[in-house]
Structure 1
Amino acid sequence: MAKRWAWRVTLALGGLLGSYVGMSCLLFVLGAHRASLSQQSEHWQVFSLPESSQRLLIVAPHPDDEVLGCGGLIATAVRQGAQVRVVFLTNGDGYPAAATLLCRSTPTAHDFLALGKLRMQEARQAARALGLSLSDLLFLGYPDRQLWQMAIAGKKPLRAPATQCDHVPYTEALRPGAPYCAPSLVEDLRRVISDFQPTHLFVTHPLDDHPDHMVASLYVREALAQATERGELLIAPQLFYYLIHRGDWPLPQGYSPERSLVPPRGMTAERWLCLPLDAELRERKRRALRAHESQYALMARFLNSFLRTNELFLPEGEWVRNPVDDNPMLRLRPGGDLRQVRAEPDSGGIRLQIETRRPLTAPLRLQITLILVEQSGEWRTRTWLYTPARSQAFEGVVEAQHDRLRFWLPVPEMRHVRRAYLLVQSHLYQVELDRSGILPIRPALSGEQAGVAVDAPSRATAQQSAPLGTR
């Protein structure tokens, strides 16, 4: 009898806990939808129309991203007489569902390669719908869903799980046979930028949920830095971010052509620029999006969510703000909600300050990843894991004060580094809860190394935005 009652009490408590979690998630989603529906595109400054003298370079991690984020912009630029070039980092050849739909069975490496070729053809058809010619498209052919792994692998070629290739396999790519490694991708991007000499450059936002989209900004910034060092740029292009994946954004999901596209929850305080789209531009974007048939067959509802009356772009700036309390998991585990990340280099390491919405407690943990680009061109990666219950085992110095953590990370290589990129992630067991986005850090070189006087080290900061109404 006692065991039976104990079992009933356990089931009751489990049901109450499940109800609490479910209700919290439901209230969160309803609040996010209500906030999204109450916003209008006129809240943001209008994006200036491209001029005929301008040159726009669109960097798309996959075929279809160029239409989702910049389709209306591309069509507008073509109509205004501006020059446009689109460069695809991958061919989208690592999507298992699309490959399965293509071959109607368990996909092999050959099937994934066939998918990559199909998506190249779809991108060409979409380009025609937007008014571009085939010469305006460049395919780099790097591995889909592996761009972040490639960044942390450095110069070591990576073998793509889907295609089983460790080099660019497409004869129509910019550089067939190029190894699957980060310096190779940056070299290709640098050449594209130097050849085209863009006045405006568009790439996916560093806070995009998709890892390929997140790391695309790192590759672009490194390519720009290398082109600048070589004196290859006649003018420094203006850098803009566009967003594709962020939770269940855009809201409401589905085809709502008369609605405005508004930023996701927690990102409305940024200086977004709004590009209005008239009926002709919206129709061109719709036809271009339908050209990506392999994606439409799987996620039409999501793709249709970008067919709105405007597009949004965020100018690159010194401060990158992340959302706070922007998904149900962070509401349940606020200690994993990153509020602010500051990194300041010195000659022997990095001083790092991380603030969370609540104190970080077990079983939460932090993962800190540092990518170093050395003077020699070598890429190196350093990783630190911080668990509150095992702070004594942390490699470095850590000081915890309520919701603020201060680290000193020993990085002797900093004195031989040109640039560094930092990513902070919070985890609950093996599940990622939040991330800072990739923060560029320009190490302070000595005056003898740099050839100039150095007054103070540079800093990289990611600050989480406060909830609306409290800023």
Structure 2
Amino acid sequence: MSLVGSNPTLSATVRWLRVHWGTGSQVKNRTIKWLLGLAWVTAGLYFADKGATYYRQGRTLPPSVINTIPEMPPHRAGDRVLVFAPHPDDEALGCAGVIQQAVQAGAQVWVVYMTSGDGFRLAVERQFRQSHPSPELHIQFGKMRQQEARRAMRLLGLADWRILFLGYPDRGLYPLWSSNWTPSNALRSYYTDTDTNPYRDTLHPGVTYCGQNVLRDVEQVLRRTVPTHVYVTHPADDHPDHAATALFVMSALARLRMQGIGFAQRVVLRHYMVHCGDWPQPQGLHEDEPLTPPPAFFNIGLHWVKLNLTPPQQVRKMNAIKAHTSQMLMMSRFLQSFVRQNELFIEQPVVLPIEASLGVVWEEPDEEDILRNLQAPGDFSAAELRMENGQAVFHINTRSKPRPGFSYSCTVHALLPNGDVTTTLLRTKPGRQSADARVDEDGVTFRLPALPSGSVLVLQAQSRFAGLAVDKTIGHVVRLP
């Protein structure tokens, strides 16, 4: 799990300044003024974020809320449980209780890591005491995190052969989902400086970094394990790798359903959350308190379930988290926040059917903070997918009228009945209209490409202000009539 890393744009800016620093006093003065302005903006954003943090902390749900959340049925012998983790340590944070309870019940359990966590730049710098770690050191760090994952899972009762690494790029899963889809447009990792998987002990060593291959590998794992239950991060998780992992897994399950694969028709899909603002609160080790949902995600129609943990199970979960030594050195307080009286999951169907006359509507989380009014034109409140004259139309409401400076995009993956997958990126902003995207008084509307009957759509829209991400819709998988 690697939210912090080196910024390619910032690095390029620094290089530019170094090249142009000595071209004259005028350039120097402009550069100094630019840096001072940047410092003021950075300080303002920092204190605004701190204020928003304290505001959100005051909105934490009361512990009594946990009593309204139903318990999920316990796992039994005969269950086949498959856990997907974007990075080593996510499986312990979200599912350590599930893993150990399922193993103790006699179920078959597997854990799959999408990446090896090799893009956590600050952790690599600390581990090797290098201010500018080489790509080789990032790969070495990834191998170290694989070993940490193996130690953690042994503590929960899983043998090494029960875990699998796919080797895709840390901090690169969302680009693979949204833009680098084919081998001809492979993604080169900024951290490992390679566009292929450099790890030997993975499902497909040397595989090219593209979305097609990720989807293929996830499908292969699903076919190999034939799960009855799948656990994966949530598509609304703040971390792009986490959101993308959910979208890949949901798409793979939908494709298998379209092919008539039996287990995919019956599988139980549960999502776990890791990154959501400053959740969970309070941070730090609070094993005597319940884990309650993020406030913004509690009353928007999501089906939350809980898994209660015994004190010995909490201890084993803590030990599994501590096995991720490189991460504990960087953010132990946050990691320990997940050792609570319970774990939380969101159950949802693999595919939502759409009726031609009704459409599909869902609410979006309202993450209130002191910046809410400023970002309201890019803050999504609800979404609707409907059919108009045989064409799918995706409308997203914003909390106030869109205004200049904000832009909107929608990534559409269409799973076709013949097995093909097409990807489409639609964009719009105030003042720019087109036949397939427009800005309305209450939000934005995207007209999706004409598709064959029975196709399945995987949708996610994003908003930005001055190029910075503001919000994204909850990713959904919808089957057209």
Measured against the shorter chain, the TM-score band is 0.7 to 0.9
1:174-185 alignment runs, 5 A limit: 174-185=203-214
Measured at CA, do residues 23 and 174 of structure 1 come closer, stay the same or move farther in structure 2, by a change above 3 Å? closer
Partner of 1:186: 215
Q: Can you list the C-alpha shifts for 1:42-84, whole angstroms capped at 9, x where unaligned?
A: 2211121111121110011111000000011111111112111
1:49-448 alignment runs, 5 A limit: 49-105=74-130, 106-151=132-177, 152-156=179-183, 157-234=186-263, 236-269=266-299, 270-317=302-349, 318=352, 321-344=363-386, 349-374=391-416, 379-388=421-430, 390-392=431-433, 394-396=434-436, 398=438, 400-401=440-441, 403-409=442-448, 411-412=449-450, 414-415=451-452, 418-442=455-479, 444=480
Separation in 2 of the partners of 1:67 and 1:367? 34
Measured at CA, do residues 274 and 183 of structure 1 come closer, stay the same or move farther in structure 2, by a change above 3 Å? same
Separation in 2 of the partners of 1:82 and 1:33? 40
Partner of 1:44: 69
CA RMSD of aligned residues (A): 2.7
C-alpha deviation, 1:23, in angstroms: 8.2
Give secondary structure in 2 for the equivalent of 1:35.
Answer: coil
Measured at CA, do residues 129 and 418 of structure 1 come closer, stay the same or move farther in structure 2, by a change above 3 Å? same
C-alpha deviation, 1:292, in angstroms: 0.2
Between 1:311-320 and 1:53-62, the stretch displaced more is: 311-320
Separation in 2 of the partners of 1:142 and 1:20? 32
Measured at CA, do residues 397 and 129 of structure 1 come closer, stay the same or move farther in structure 2, by a change above 3 Å? closer
Measured at CA, do residues 85 and 321 of structure 1 come closer, stay the same or move farther in structure 2, by a change above 3 Å? farther
Separation in 1 of the partners of 2:444 and 2:260? 40
Partner of 1:464: none
Q: Can you list the C-alpha shifts for 1:81-128, whole angstroms capped at 9, x where unaligned?
A: 211110111111111112112221111110111011001100000001
Separation in 2 of the partners of 1:103 and 1:25? 31
5+ unaligned residues in a row in structure 1: which ranges? 1-14, 445-456, 458-471
Separation in 2 of the partners of 1:191 and 1:22? 47
Give secondary structure in 2 for the equivalent of 1:333.
Answer: helix
5+ unaligned residues in a row in structure 2: which ranges? 1-39, 353-360
Measured at CA, do residues 66 and 57 of structure 1 come closer, stay the same or move farther in structure 2, by a change above 3 Å? same
Measured at CA, do residues 192 and 154 of structure 1 come closer, stay the same or move farther in structure 2, by a change above 3 Å? same
Between 1:350-359 and 1:199-208, the stretch displaced more is: 350-359
Q: Is the 8 A contact 2:305 2:344 kept in 1?
A: yes
Separation in 2 of the partners of 1:121 and 1:66? 14
Measured at CA, do residues 29 and 36 of structure 1 come closer, stay the same or move farther in structure 2, by a change above 3 Å? farther
Q: Which amino acid aligns with 2:165?
A: F
Separation in 2 of the partners of 1:167 and 1:274? 39
Separation in 1 of the partners of 2:305 and 2:289? 17
| Equivalences, count | 423
Q: Which amino acid aligns with 1:164?
A: D
Separation in 1 of the partners of 2:47 and 2:118? 36
C-alpha deviation, 1:316, in angstroms: 1.1
Separation in 2 of the partners of 1:227 and 1:314? 22
Partner of 2:19: none
Give secondary structure in 2 for the equivalent of 1:36.
Answer: coil
C-alpha deviation, 1:209, in angstroms: 0.4
Identity %: 33
TM-score, length of structure 2 as denominator length: 0.81
Measured at CA, do residues 333 and 112 of structure 1 come closer, stay the same or move farther in structure 2, by a change above 3 Å? same
TM-score, length of structure 1 as denominator length: 0.83
C-alpha deviation, 1:335, in angstroms: 2.1
Give secondary structure in 2 for the equivalent of 1:272.
Answer: strand
Measured at CA, do residues 23 and 170 of structure 1 come closer, stay the same or move farther in structure 2, by a change above 3 Å? closer
Q: Which amino acid aligns with 2:129?
A: R
Q: Which amino acid aligns with 1:425?
A: Q
